Amino acid sequence: MAVTRRVVPIAVAATETVSLYASEEKIQPRTVHGWFASWRWTLVWLTQLVFYGLPWLQWNGRPALLFDLGARRFYIFAMVLHPQDVIYLAGLLIISAFGLFLFTAVAGRLWCGFACPQTVYTEIFMWVERRFEGDRQARIKLDLAPWSPRKLVRRGGKQVVWLAIGLWTGFTFVAYFTPARALVAEVLAFSLGPWETFWLLFYGLATYGNAGYLREQVCKYMCPYARFQSAMFDRDTLIVSYDPQRGEPRGSRARRVDPASIGKGDCIDCTLCVQVCPTGIDIREGLQYECIGCAACIDVCNGVMDKMEYPRGLIRFATQNAMSQRWSTRVMWQRIARPRVLVYGAILLAISSTFVWSLATRSPFKADVVRDRGALARMVEDGRVENVYRLQLMNATEQPQRLRVEVEGLPGATVHAWSDVDLAATESRWVPVAVQIPPQEASTLRPGAHPFAFRIRRVDAGADGHAAELHEKSTFIVPR
Amino acid sequence: MSDFFSSGWSVFIAVATVVSLLACLALLVFASRRTQMADDNSTGHVFDGDLVEMNNPMPMWWVVLFVATVIFALVYVYAFPALGSVSGSLGWTSRGELKADQAVAAKDMAQVYAAYSSVPADTLSQDPKAMAIGQRLFINNCATCHGSDARGSKGFPNLTDNDWLHGGSPEKIEETITLGRTGVMPPMAAAVGSATDVHDVANYVLSLSKSPHDSIAASAGKAKFAVCAACHGGDGKGNAAIGAPNLTDGVWLHGWGEAAITAIVNNGKTNVMPAQGGRLSPEQIHVLASYVWGLSQPRRTAAR
């Protein structure tokens, strides 16, 4: 990119010793309105309605979303997940990761600028700040002003609302693990458990500290995604870009003057793009690691361009290639659909559809087979060969189920003295099962392990009308 | 206390801990200042012609956090046993914490078992909750030998067939669990006679339970069985008082068929059920015995 660089003189004698630690300068971003700001607020509303609202939603007389850690059951609308379903969590994380890869390859740090909780809560906290202390100039003035009743009221009001939002966030977080209505009662009666108290305060104060004070510091110094997303950029990634060929040389001018006639570019050097930046950078210096892609500078610059009656887009989402080679928007978008993006997209689509398909066709019960630890095999009455297994039967629904276990894949094998197991709603139970082979059949099998399968099926068709069936593999050992 | 070869290691660890902690702080201070080019905020290092190393200071809150962790570490070192064998001001030990946890658990457990300790076994075996506790006790303590389904294996008695070596009343079962049992069958080959005599006795024993046998050998062995009758009884029905098994019921603890019986007569057998009294409380044993007793009762209650 043809940015004018300052020439760094190498042989400079003047040196001084400085501290490598410095207090960060407080950033007071100016309010911004525009297309991207509206999108950010839309996402703030969407994500927060979901986050704050979900714990209150009821489903069949229980919270629609409840992670009951004590009972190790996770209720998600009609679903009941057991710890054995942790594969779905892995699936969700893989989908999120590939989603992040895809979006980052296409348009950089979209997540950071629009949907990340750090951005979302900072946006909310800054809105509160503006309500009490006014916009950028007023806040800078208030910072410098000596303490007065007026300053105390403004600062105090802001703190109270910040803390309230923080604690409400902490409460909501805990309400995903303890039913919200019960939690309200516990809070009112001061009878919160130790962990509930800890997480409510921890999450609440972390929200307060991160969104109220640390803000861009979290993105700059703490967040690992911020750094590895930069590694996923290439020259065909859409990033927030300043168009130096159009903007430079920058400088102020009267409104009706044609910039070409006075040898200037379109940038009027109003520094609004710097004032609105939540991380305090100057986008005109090119791509910087601090840029979270929030596009506040695009919004504000477009407003200035409108006022100056210049075309919009002096700062815009563009790829580095499009910017340096003056590509049209169409060519740029054609390059964005590059193999990397298509591969990410295909993987994301494949995993997501598998995930949904797997959830939709989920068995209403689960079973795990564990060979008995005590004995490999034994001879019982009449020379029958017997192996013992422990079956963990899990009801993945909220209706009782009756399960029957049979054996397949071994000649003459039967389940000894089986009586159907009645599982209560969401219950998980270990059941010992003895499998027997009559002596005649046993004598035809060579000593050693023989693969077979348990066929576990629901005896009475459930609420969904069809009888489900599971096959769990195991081995049967014939002794010497 | 010398955990290793000598107490010198304790001193080494103490010194290493303190020195590392202070070195962290010293490093922070020494690395905090450096010479910088005055006019352009760079360190004067240029790589690849145009890559300039700038002075990009760490934020002050980061430094504060760093110092806070060192202070936390010092407090921790003072309060807990962090310096080799020094025990720390709180006197905390992992053994003490375990004991305290166990005391809490014992108190909680006592409440659970209090409801069961005076309930007789036949009532208790109808109580699904008590039987669930019994089943867990069984799985954790007994299933290793007797199997998850309590049906045992060769050498390990089946507990569900109502055939008891030492008596099947709930009290006897409690006694068996608490004190353990040792079943001794002495080698009897010399007392019985020749190999043919042993063959005959073995067939007689098989005939007692109407198992497949050689009836001529069996009738020849009947007289020789007299030496066995001292323990197993004249009718072969055994004697629970000394743990002599019933030979007439077709239950074969140490193997089925003539070869297995011959081996036992020739070589004898000592079989041990280890005592559990030191590992389980009397209340636990009561619930466990009720569970085991319930396994062979016709009216079984499923453990829930």
Indicate whether A110 and A183 sit together in one domain: yes
Q: Which residues of B touch A480 (CB under 8 A)?
A: none
pLDDT for A441 equals: 85
Residue A63 neighbours by CB distance under 10 Å = 21
Indicate whether A444 and A468 sit together in one domain: yes
Indicate whether A161 and A42 sit together in one domain: yes
In a domain, A420, yes or no: yes
CA-CA distance, A333 to A319, in Å (whole number)? 9
Which residues are paired to A408 by β-bridges? Answer: A453
Residue B16's alpha-carbon distances to A175, B25, B91, in angstroms, are: 45, 14, 22
pLDDT for B40 equals: 74
CA-CA distance, A81 to A395, in Å (whole number)? 9
**Type of residue at B40:** D
Q: Is A480 on the interface with B (CB under 8 A)?
A: no
**Type of residue at A437:** I
Pairing of strands A21-22, B58-59: parallel
Q: Which residues of A touch B147 (CB under 8 A)?
A: 372, 374-375, 378, 388, 432
pLDDT tens per residue, range B132-158 = 899 889 989 998 889 888 888 888 998
| Closest in A5, A214, A390 to B148, CB measured | A390
CA-CA distance, B270 to B62, in Å (whole number)? 70
Selected residue of A376, A388, A403, A422 to mutate for chain B interface (largest B Cβ count, 10 A): A388
Nearest C-alpha neighbor of A300 from the set A106, A29, A27: A29
Q: Is A374 on the interface with B (CB under 8 A)?
A: yes
Q: Tell me how many domains chain A contains.
A: 3
How far away is chain B from the Cα of A373, in angstroms, using its nearest Cα?
A: 6
In a domain, A349, yes or no: no
pLDDT for A260 equals: 83
pLDDT for B72 equals: 94
Indicate whether A224 and A79 sit together in one domain: yes
In a domain, A19, yes or no: no
In a domain, A99, yes or no: yes
3-state secondary structure chain B: CCCCCCCHHHHHHHHHHHHHHHHHHHHHHHCCEEEEECCCCEEEEEECCCEEEECCCEEHHHHHHHHHHHHHHHHHHHHCCCCCCCCCCCCCCHHHHHHHHHHHHHHHHHHHHHCCCCCCHHHHCCCHHHHHHHHHHHHHHCHHHHCCCCCCECCECCCCCCCCCCCCCHHHHHHHHHHCEEEEECCCHHHHCCHHHHHHHHHHHHHHCCCCCCHHHHHHHHHHCHHHHHHHCCCCCCECCCCECCCCCCCCCCCCCHHHHHHHHHHCEEEEECCCCCCCCHHHHHHHHHHHHHHCCCCCCCCC
pLDDT for B1 equals: 47
How far away is chain A from the Cα of B198, in angstroms, using its nearest Cα?
A: 23
Q: Which residues of A touch B152 (CB under 8 A)?
A: 375, 378
Nearest C-alpha neighbor of A196 from the set A179, A209, A208: A179
Residue of B nearest to A373 (CA): B144
| Closest in B35, B46, B57 to A21, CB measured | B57
pLDDT for B179 equals: 95
pLDDT for B15 equals: 92
CA-CA distance, A469 to A356, in Å (whole number)? 20
Which residue ranges in chain A fall short of pLDDT 50? 1, 12
Indicate whether A369 and A299 sit together in one domain: no
| CA A374-A377-A383 angle, 5° bins | 135
> Cβ–Cβ of B33/A17 closer than 8 Å?
yes
Residue of B nearest to A17 (CA): B35
Residue A206's alpha-carbon distances to A165, A215, A221, A226, A438, in angstroms, are: 11, 11, 16, 19, 66
> Cβ–Cβ of B39/A14 closer than 8 Å?
yes
How far away is chain A from the Cα of B303, in angstroms, using its nearest Cα?
A: 10
Query: Which helix (DSSP H) or strand (DSSP E) does residue A12 occupy?
Result: none
Indicate whether A317 and A370 sit together in one domain: no
Residues 6+ apart with CB under 8 A from B125: B131, B290, B291, B293, B294, B297, B300, B301
Tell me the CATH number at A416: 2.60.40.10
Are B257 and B265 in contact by the 8 Å Cβ rule? The answer is: no
In a domain, A274, yes or no: yes
Q: Which residues of B touch A24 (CB under 8 A)?
A: 59-61
In a domain, A462, yes or no: yes
Instruction: Read off φ and ψ for residue A367, nearest 5 degrees.
Output: -145, 140
Q: Which residues of A touch B60 (CB under 8 A)?
A: 21-24
CA-CA distance, A373 to A389, in Å (whole number)? 9
Residue A53's alpha-carbon distances to A118, A174, B90, in angstroms, are: 19, 13, 45
Residue of B nearest to A423 (CA): B304
Q: Which residues of A touch B139 (CB under 8 A)?
A: 430
Query: Which helix (DSSP H) or strand (DSSP E) does residue A74 occupy?
Result: strand A73-76
pLDDT for B153 equals: 83
Q: Which residues of B touch A420 (CB under 8 A)?
A: none
Q: Would you state the structure tokens that stand for residue A205, as one six-digit string?
A: 């104060």
| Closest in A10, A16, A388 to B46, CB measured | A10
Q: Is A432 on the interface with B (CB under 8 A)?
A: yes
Indicate whether A185 and A253 sit together in one domain: no
Q: Which of A327, A353, A384 is the last residue of a domain?
A: A327
Which residue ranges in chain B fall short of pLDDT 70? 1-5, 36-38, 299-304
CA-CA distance, A286 to A297, in Å (whole number)? 13
Domains and CATH numbers, chain B: 8-79 (no CATH), 108-180+274-295 (1.10.760.10), 183-273 (1.10.760.10)
A363 — alpha (psi -120 to 50), left (phi > 0) or beta? beta
CA-CA distance, A115 to A112, in Å (whole number)? 6
Q: Is A27 on the interface with B (CB under 8 A)?
A: no
Q: Which residues of A touch B44 (CB under 8 A)?
A: 10, 12, 15
> Cβ–Cβ of B144/A18 closer than 8 Å?
no
Q: Which of A169, A193, A228 is the last residue of a domain?
A: A228
Indicate whether A56 and A160 sit together in one domain: yes
**Type of residue at B120:** P
Query: Which helix (DSSP H) or strand (DSSP E) does residue A232 occupy?
Result: none
Indicate whether A292 and A198 sit together in one domain: no
Residue-number span of the structural domain to which A313 is assigned = 239-327
Nearest C-alpha neighbor of A269 from the set A323, A319, A308: A308
Nearest C-alpha neighbor of A253 from the set A295, A202, A307: A307
Q: Is A465 on the interface with B (CB under 8 A)?
A: no
Are A449 and A476 in contact by the 8 Å Cβ rule? The answer is: yes
Indicate whether A80 and A144 sit together in one domain: yes
In a domain, A140, yes or no: yes
Chains A & B: contacts with CB separation below 8 Å: 110
Q: Is A17 on the interface with B (CB under 8 A)?
A: yes
Q: Which of residues 412-431 of A touch B (CB under 8 A)?
A: 429-430
Which residues are paired to A429 by β-bridges? Answer: A393
Q: Is A231 on the interface with B (CB under 8 A)?
A: no
Q: Which residues of B touch A19 (CB under 8 A)?
A: 32-33, 57
Give DSSP secondary structure letters for A247-295: HPSP----TTS-GGGGT--S-----HHHHH-TT---GGG---TT-----
ipTM summary value: 0.70
Indicate whether A53 and A196 sit together in one domain: yes
CA-CA distance, A429 to A395, in Å (whole number)? 9
* DSSP state, residue A85: G
Q: Which residues of B touch A434 (CB under 8 A)?
A: 149, 151
Selected residue of A1, A288, A378, A477 to mutate for chain B interface (largest B Cβ count, 10 A): A378
CA-CA distance, A268 to A256, in Å (whole number)? 13
What pTM value is reported for the model?
A: 0.81
In a domain, A16, yes or no: no
Indicate whether A121 and A96 sit together in one domain: yes
Are A43 and A122 in contact by the 8 Å Cβ rule? The answer is: no
Q: Which of A228, A254, A286 is the last residue of a domain?
A: A228
Selected residue of B27, B30, B32, B37 to mutate for chain A interface (largest A Cβ count, 10 A): B37
